[in-house]
Amino acid sequence: MRILLLGKNGQVGWELQRALAPLGELIALDRRGAVEEGMRPGEGARLCGDLTDLDGLAATVDGLAPDVIVNAAAYTAVDKAEAEPALAYTINAAAVDVLARAAARNDALLVHYSTDYVFDGSGERPWQEESPTGPLSVYGRTKLEGEEAIRASGCRHLIFRTSWVHGARGGNFARTMLRLAVERERLTVIADQIGAPTGAELIADVSAHAIRATLRNSALCGTYHLAAGGETSWHGYASFVIEQARRLGAVLKVEEIAPIASADYPVAAARPLNSRLDTRHLREAFGLHLPDWRQGVERMLREILE
């Protein structure tokens, strides 16, 4: 079996390199691409991993004819996307459309990631897969357009909507809090946005299990919510990170972590207040357990700090 992984050096992509390796021959690309190994030096074809190169991307999938395409690449700078909507659209929607059509042509399974930011954040009930969407930001809107392109293409697919991703490698909220806690005595952190921090390791491992199951049973194809168990606010998340980091011996300057409202934290892109994702469909379809978010965060902190 041949697997094509795009975005291999992002938080999720990095963990997928590990989790997908035992499933088959893995061709992992970042935006710089690679040269396919030929029989003789210089003979290999150029492999494109750049999601802004739509023709290169289609040619790469057709050339490799993979059994599975896993797309971990995305435009993830939420505030910056408000000023760069065209680029965000190309990477999060147009390129995904190209991948979905190529998957359909090559009868490949397409695995893709989406976000809690496709929802408008109203209410307090966890969102289900079929709940009405209503993105508040360019990032959320372009991610939703990517999902819709996949569903319209007719390709076999798995779309995993996840939330608040963290990994030991790459930029994320926990790392930002650790950095600020060294520099400042007081942090102000939003306490009225509720969701679940989810580890890139967990996402990658669940993806590998789900891919194996779906290759044996196409009825499992579809859109699933994939987030760690439990819920918290960004303030609760920050407080846990600081407390655990101290327990692990980190020397931090911070003395106060003040809870604030979203309205008191002006940013370019609006975020949903309710980012809770109901993961029952995923757990039941694949027979998996999703551990509490604290477990993944603690593990990441150990990896960073010990």
Ligand X SMILES: Cc1cn([C@H]2C[C@H](O)[C@@H](COP(=O)(O)OP(=O)(O)O[C@H]3O[C@@H](C)C(=O)[C@@H](O)[C@H]3O)O2)c(=O)[nH]c1=O
Which residues sit at the interface with ligand NDP, rule CB under 6 A?
7, 9-13, 31, 49-52, 72-76, 91, 113, 115, 143, 162-165, 170
Instruction: Output the smallest distance, CB 153 to ligand X, in A.
Output: 22
Three-class SS string for 256-278?
Answer: EEEEECHHHCCCCCCCCCECCEC
- Regarding 111 and contact with ligand X (CB under 6 A), the answer is no
Instruction: Output the smallest distance, CB 254 to ligand NDP, in A.
Output: 23
Whether residue 113 lies in the annotated active site: no
Q: Residue 306, SS3?
A: coil
Bridge partners for 159 per DSSP: 112, 223
Type of residue found at 120: D
By the 8 A CB rule, do 198 and 162 touch? yes
Instruction: Output the smallest distance, CB 178 to ligand NDP, in A.
Output: 16
Instruction: Output the smallest distance, CB 182 to ligand NDP, in A.
Output: 22
Q: Does the CA dihedral 214-218-222-224 come out positive or negative?
A: negative
Residue with tokens 């980091």: 245
Q: Which does 13 bind (CB under 5 to 8 A by kind): ligand NDP, ligand X, none?
A: ligand NDP
- Regarding 120 and contact with ligand X (CB under 6 A), the answer is no
Q: Count CA atoms closer than 13 A to 7's CA, side-chain side.
A: 25
Site for ligand X, residues 20 to 79, rule: CB under 6 A: 76, 78
Q: Which does 78 bind (CB under 5 to 8 A by kind): ligand NDP, ligand X, none?
A: ligand X
Of 117, 139, 224, 237, the active-site residue reads 139
Our CB check for ligand X shows the closer of 90 and 193 to be: 193
Our CB check for ligand X shows the closer of 66 and 146 to be: 146
Q: Which does 160 bind (CB under 5 to 8 A by kind): ligand X, ligand NDP, none?
A: none
Residue 150: which of 230, 221, 49, 78 has the closest Cα? 221
Residue 172 neighbours by CB under 8 Å, 6+ apart: 11, 165, 166
Residue with tokens 């939330």: 163
Type of residue found at 297: V
Kindly calculate the radius of gyration of the chain based on its CA atoms and give it in whole angstroms: 20
Our CB check for ligand X shows the closer of 47 and 144 to be: 144
Q: Which does 153 bind (CB under 5 to 8 A by kind): ligand NDP, ligand X, none?
A: none
Which token pair is 37?
A: 């190994």
* Residues in contact with ligand X by the rule CB under 6 A: 76, 78, 115-117, 163-165, 173, 176, 180, 187-190, 193, 234, 265, 271
- By annotation, the residues acting in catalysis are 139
